[in-house]
Structure 1
Amino acid sequence: MTGMWTIEPSPVDHPDATAVMRDYLEDVAGRYYGRPATAEEVDRALAAEPADDLVPPSGVFLLGRAGGAVTGCVGVKLLDARTAELTKLYICPAARGSGGGSQLLLAAERAARELGAEVMCLNTRQDLTEAKSLYARHGYVETEPYTTGRYVDHCFQKALL
């Protein structure tokens, strides 16, 4: 599965969006726990970190598709008038290595600029090494934490100007 993806905004409550967010949480929770995440654990994670802030005018949720199938997602939300946060960047396992992560990241940066942001920040966990490599390849630099939390091991940012 290589080539260009189609990346478009989606309501967070659209069935395709809710399905890919469940897949995302199953993946990251499973990696965190070192075993497959249970449906109950995914439900708790969805309740603890809802995506209801990824809606206009201060946010957006993007779905990536390749070959007509949903293959990834990413969210962007404004933290303040000039700073956006990247969140929920996910590539389905079958689509990894296809360049979709870069395409989703670039689409998220465009969306952040359209929201008026000058800076994009993000946080990630230590074990998500592929994500950290992706961000570094795209010019994100590690910074002091802008937030705290159980899953915040590294914070990055990039000027969008």
Structure 2
Amino acid sequence: VRLLDPATAELTRVFVHEGLRGRGGAALLVAAAEDAARALGAGRIVLDTRTDLVEARALYARLGYAETAPHNDDRYAEHWFRKELVN
């Protein structure tokens, strides 16, 4: 997690080893990242991902992230998400 501005944090990566996927670890990692963003004072968190990462996009949607307009011009980004953080 890094701050893009005082109110916006960016989740830069979520990685779960292939042999450990499907056990809820990714949701726990995202929750920890959201907690870290709140601790930094952010009121929202954004992220980007690729089209081929179907499971990741489903995870973010399930966790309350909404697809939104691009917030960066990363050459690998094809989908952008945002979530408002509540304390």
Q: Which category of TM-score, normalised to the shorter sequence, fits these structures?
A: over 0.9
* Unaligned stretches of 5+ residues in structure 1: 1-75
Give how far 1:98 is off: 0.8
When normalised by structure 1's length, the TM-score is 0.53
Structure 2 counterparts to residues 5-154 of structure 1, below 5 A: 76-154=1-79
- Asked which structure has the greater RCO (Cα within 8 Å, sep 6+), the reply is 2
For the residues of structure 1 that align with 2:74 and 2:8, how far apart are their CA atoms? 19
For the residues of structure 2 that align with 1:160 and 1:149, how far apart are their CA atoms? 24
For the residues of structure 2 that align with 1:136 and 1:155, how far apart are their CA atoms? 11
Q: Of the two, which has the highest radius of gyration?
A: 1
Task: Deviation per CA, 1:8-52: give whole Å up to 9, x if none.
Answer: xxxxxxxxxxxxxxxxxxxxxxxxxxxxxxxxxxxxxxxxxxxxx
Aligned-residue identity in percent: 52
Give how far 1:124 is off: 0.4
For the residues of structure 1 that align with 2:43 and 2:36, how far apart are their CA atoms? 11
Aligned pair count reads 86
Give how far 1:147 is off: 0.5
SS of alignment partner, residue 87 of structure 1: coil
When normalised by structure 2's length, the TM-score is 0.96
Give how far 1:150 is off: 1.4
SS of alignment partner, residue 13 of structure 2: strand
Give how far 1:87 is off: 1.1
AA partner of residue 113 (structure 1): R
Root mean square deviation of aligned Cα: 0.6
* Unaligned stretches of 5+ residues in structure 2: none
